[in-house]
């Protein structure tokens, strides 16, 4: 019986992180997508001054 391989998400995450770091167009797109989320998290922070 053939052993089943476990599939991991880690290589895909590493690829996306590398693309964001080394490709300026991917970096700009990631920032455009993450900026509203980060602003929302900043607004929901109960410990802000």
pLDDT in tens, 9-49: 999 999 999 999 999 999 999 999 999 998 888 888 888 76
Q: Does residue 39 sit within a domain?
A: yes
Q: Report how far residue 6's alpha carbon sits from residue 42's, in angstroms, rounded to the nearest whole number.
A: 37
- Residue 7, sorted as left (phi over 0), alpha (psi -120 to 50) or beta, turns out to be beta
Q: Does residue 29 sit within a domain?
A: yes
- Total domains in the chain come to 1
Only one residue has tokens 């052993």, namely: 3
Q: Residue 42 contacts by C-beta under 8 Å, 6 or more apart in sequence?
A: 48
pTM of the predicted structure, to 2 decimals? 0.58
Say what the pLDDT of residue 49 is: 60
Q: Does residue 3 sit within a domain?
A: no
Q: Does residue 49 sit within a domain?
A: no
Torsion of Cα atoms, 35 then 36 then 41 then 47, to 10° = 80
Where in the sequence is the domain holding 26, given as residue range(s)?
9-44
Q: Report how far residue 28's alpha carbon sits from residue 12's, in angstroms, rounded to the nearest whole number.
A: 19
């Amino acid at each position: 019986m053939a052993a089943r391989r476990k599939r991991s998400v880690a290589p895909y995450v590493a690829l996306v992180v590398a693309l964001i770091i080394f490709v300026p167009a991917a970096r700009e797109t990631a920032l455009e997508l993450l900026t509203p989320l980060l602003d929302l998290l900043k607004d929901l922070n109960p410990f802000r001054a």
